[in-house]
Amino acid sequence: MVLTAPLQPIDELSAYINLARSRNIPKISEGASNELVRSYVELRNAGEDTRSSEKRITATTRQLESMIRLSEAHARMRLSSSVEFDDVKEAYRLMRDAIRTSATDPKTGKIDMGLLDSGVGQQERKLRGDMGKEVLNILDAAGNRGIRWTDVLKQLEGQSSIRINTAEFGEVIKALEREGLVKVVGERDRRTIRRVEGG
């Protein structure tokens, strides 16, 4: 049997929200301030992996600002004039769960804040970077003439121990075009990739 809280009438809920919004921004108490610092440091340290020399950033000043705003919102919800320790604890819980949900790389299972900015995990970004370098090497070896899209893809597949995903290849070429390093001429099967001189 599932117990649910009784629903509040919409006009009462609206009046409560308006009252909470109309109050001044709550002041952060000393205990809450100390907890904000501790929680932020804990979020930052979540990216450390003792087995690896690599350090992933799991919290930036943007996350600290969000945690402060969430703490203030939680205090306002209580109609309090000050942000207390428990407000920060709840804000930290929300931030930690949000980061874990939205920034966990499904391939590695590790938190990667780059996912939030680019939608691409660190491992995938490295793979795309390596693929881009190889594409440029292939084009440089061909000289000034362009190479057909499918031929570049075949050469990459011949050099790689893993199968090249055509969608990933397309994203790499788009990125190289945006950087002004290559130019794609033609359409579909007749596409040719050319190295941009000086790029």
pLDDT at res. 1? 47
More confident residue, 2 or 97: 97
C-alpha distance across the termini of the chain, in Å: 66
CATH 3.40.50.300: does it fit domain 122-195? no
Quick: pLDDT tens for 33-85. 999 999 998 888 765 654 444 445 566 788 889 999 999 999 999 999 999 99
pLDDT at 189: 75
Quick one: tokens of 107?
């391939």
Q: Between 6 and 117, whose confidence is greater?
A: 6
Please state which architecture CATH assigns to domain 10-118: 3-Layer(aba) Sandwich (3.40)
Domain extents in the chain: 10-118, 122-195
Note the pLDDT of residue 96.
Answer: 83
Chain Cα centroid distance, residue 20:
32
